Amino acid sequence: MFSPFMLQLLLLFLFLNYTILQHTNPSSLHWDYQREGPDTWQHTFNTCNGKAQSPINIRTSRVKYDPKLRPLSLNGFTTNTSLHIWNFTHNGHTIVVYPPASANLSISGANLPESFSLVQFHFHWGYNAYQGSEHTIDGIKYPLEIHFVHQAHFSRAQAVLGIFFELQHDDNPYINDLLSILNQTTNISISIEKQIDITPLFPTLLSPRFYRYNGSLTTPPCTEGITWIILASTVSISEYQLEVFAGNSISWNFRHPQKLYSRQVLANFQSAKHENLQDEEDESIHCSSVCVQQVLTLLLSYVLIIFMLK
């Protein structure tokens, strides 16, 4: 039997242990892509097994066109961003680029409740030129995906803007300066500051076409409640330019698409597939009305025949 003193010590130990666990920062727990990859994250971070996880495969035939989606505004990005000094840091999982406080870059529109300020952007790549993106479109993978992470000032909610890079034969000269800096941050803990223009990282800055859905962070702790905006247009990059990432100490850093479950992906544009679906629905409605008319005509004819026979 425990003495009262020993029992008090045991209760104190259990209380302290519970308190420590409750205040442990999930982001400080170990995770990686290779040894303890994305499929094992859920064992340490319960949220990674949630029902609103990112990334996802965007099936364009299931996307809902929403004409009420307001245009996406990229505030401050249209000015000369080369005036800003950006911080490039290799954190062991990716290369993170932080803007200076004076940058004043944000996104609004797209039915976001308020303006969201840019916090950082980072990269996801693969070990070859045919995979690397986290989101996919109709199962198609891209070699590189950039995530621009934004946070709202009042609600502290987060919105992430995703941009694909598509493989092309020729180099994209507009991103050479950026790639040169990334080539200097290939190892963990390297941090440098450079003045650079990031506008070439956007396929367009004026009213881009986009997909929108509710998801999560794609890295632990996989926090849900994140608004995702994925641009439909891509930025070009050559296989030679992708070698910058091949020389990184991280060979790949992408999470595979997660189940969509009951979530709905919206789009602010109507693609050919959407239009075809609409045509099919219209034809179905037209067929239904015609069929009803034919049935009524037959019934009326039957009633007239019976009446005449009497």
Say whether 93 is catalytic: yes
136 vs 126: CA distance, rounded Å? 13
Burial category of 102 from C-beta neighbours within 10 Å (exposed 0-12, middle 13-18, buried 19 and up): exposed
**Which H or E run contains 96?**
strand 95-98
Q: 184 vs 178, 240, 286, CA distance in Å? A: 10, 17, 62
Q: 121 vs 96, 198, 277, CA distance in Å? A: 6, 11, 36
Q: 306 vs 143, 200, 295, 298, 310, CA distance in Å? A: 73, 78, 17, 12, 7
| Candidates 30, 84, 93, 274; catalytic one | 93
Q: 18 vs 13, 26, 220, 304, CA distance in Å? A: 9, 15, 21, 84
88 three-state secondary structure:
strand
Q: Is the dihedral of CA 287, 288, 289, 291 positive or negative?
A: positive
284 three-state secondary structure:
helix
Q: What angle do CA 49, 65, 286 make, to 5 degrees?
A: 120
251 vs 122: CA distance, rounded Å? 15
What residues act catalytically? 93
